[in-house]
Amino acid sequence: MKKYLAVLLFNSPFLLASSFDDCLNLTAHVRFSEPNGFVEYDDVDWRKALPICEKAVAENPNNFKALYSLSRVYSRQFDELEDQELMEKMNDYIEKSYRAGFKHAAWVLAIGYYESQEWDQAMYWLDLSGKDGNVNAINEKARWLFDSKEAYPNKNYREAEKTLKSAVNSDNKYIHFNLASLHYYDKYEMLDYKLALKHFKKAASLGNIRTSKTIFS
Structural domain boundaries enclosing 208: 136-217
For residue 23, pLDDT beyond 50: yes
Tell me whether residue 10 is in a domain: no
pTM of the predicted protein model: 0.86
Residue 55 lies in a domain: yes
pLDDT digits (tens, 9 = 90+) for 47-67: 999 999 999 999 999 999 999
- 24 belongs to a structural domain: yes
pLDDT tens track for 105-160: 999 999 999 999 999 999 999 999 999 999 999 999 999 999 999 999 999 999 99
Domain count, the chain: 2
Are both 31 and 91 inside the same structural domain?
yes
In a domain, 124, yes or no: no
At residue 36 the predicted structure's pLDDT band, cuts being 50, 70 and 90, is confident
60 phi, psi to nearest 5 deg:
-135, 65
Identify whether residues 65 and 21 lie together within a single domain: yes
For 202-213, what is each residue's pLDDT tens digit?
999 999 887 655
Last residue of a domain, one of 102, 119, 149: 102
Domain finish residue from 102, 127, 151 = 102
Mark whether 143 and 209 lie in a shared domain: yes
**116 located within any domain:** no
Q: Which of 102, 126, 153 is the last residue of a domain?
A: 102
pLDDT band at residue 11 using 50, 70 and 90 as cut-offs: very low
Q: Give the pLDDT score at 212.
A: 58
Residue 128 placed within a domain: no
pLDDT score recorded for residue 177: 97
Residue 129 lies in a domain: no
